[in-house]
Amino acid sequence: MEINSLQNARVKNVVRLRDGRHRQKQDRFLVDGIRELSRANRGGIEIVEVFVCREICTEEQQQRLEEVLNQLRQDKGTSTRGAWNLFQVSKNVFHKMAFGDRAEGVLAVAQVPHWELEDLKLPEKPLVAVIEGIEKPGNIGAVIRSADAAAIDAVILADCRTDLFNPNAIRASLGTVLTLPIRETSTPASLTWLRAQGLPIFTARVDGSVPYTEIDFRCGGAIVLGSEADGLTDEWSGDDIQAVRLPMLGVADSLNISATAAVLFFEALRQREQT
């Protein structure tokens, strides 16, 4: 099916999905880019519509796009996920729908997945990341990108103040928000679940008592980080919770949350690879 009009109802609906209120209302979000669409499919995300503009694709992009579309077609026949529709759109229509200035000639609408914390399956000695009260979608994406790179088993968003499927979060994560096990819940529910799993809890705090290099991550645990504006709430205090710190030798007293996450995640990875 072809769409050439900027006034087309489907086009207008896609544009609305840039806004978090409409994502919540429709329970759908945008997947913008070939790599992101491939990772959405890999992560079991249900694709509803795919809009393609081949005239703006390079030859290499067209080849990669066809590979992804073929995979979607194959999975359509074998998956329990619903059917999806493909639309060919004109260049001006595509640029109206696309997010930002990165246009690869494909944009999809996907169904928001509803994952439950209780359904999360973890390996033996898992390492889980918890980020509380995060506000900026770019920071969510950056933390999740580092979590994916450092083999973190799951990410829990506690009392999140932004939208996990904001286009900025998806882009900053390089699409890993669509493949990594992620759960959204409250801080009390996160604590209850972590304790039920018997996981050691390590919180990153400016006033932490133990340097991060002295923490033993080899048996797994939860690395907990707070928002840059407020840090962690008082609920992340207790006899079973270890506060850790990163050395800050300059005038600043803390790092960006994504930088802190990367330092801790890769220290944990370094230790776990040596066991």
| Angular region, 98: left φ>0, alpha ψ -120 to 50, beta rest | beta
- Compute the distance between CA of residue 233 and CA of residue 191 in angstroms, rounded to an integer: 12
14 closest CA partner among 53, 69, 58: 53
Q: 255 or 28: whose pLDDT is higher?
A: 28
For the segment 221-233, the average pLDDT, to the nearest whole number, is 91
- Compute the distance between CA of residue 253 and CA of residue 251 in angstroms, rounded to an integer: 6
Averaged pLDDT of the chain? 92
Check whether residue 42 and residue 121 sit in a common domain.
Answer: no
Q: Examine the pLDDT at 25 and tell me if it is beyond 80.
A: yes
**Domain end call among 88, 111, 134:** 111
> pLDDT per residue over 167-180, tens digit each?
999 999 999 999 99
Q: What's the CATH code of the domain at 226?
A: 3.40.1280.10
- Compute the distance between CA of residue 96 and CA of residue 56 in angstroms, rounded to an integer: 13
Look up the domain containing 104 and give its range. 2-111
Check whether residue 31 and residue 128 sit in a common domain.
Answer: no
Side chain identity at 214, as an amino acid letter? E
> pLDDT per residue over 46-105, tens digit each?
999 999 999 898 889 999 999 999 999 887 655 556 689 999 999 999 999 987 666 789
Strand order in the sheet with 2-3: 2-3, 85-89, 47-52, 106-111, 28-32
pLDDT classification of 274: cutoffs 50, 70, 90:
confident
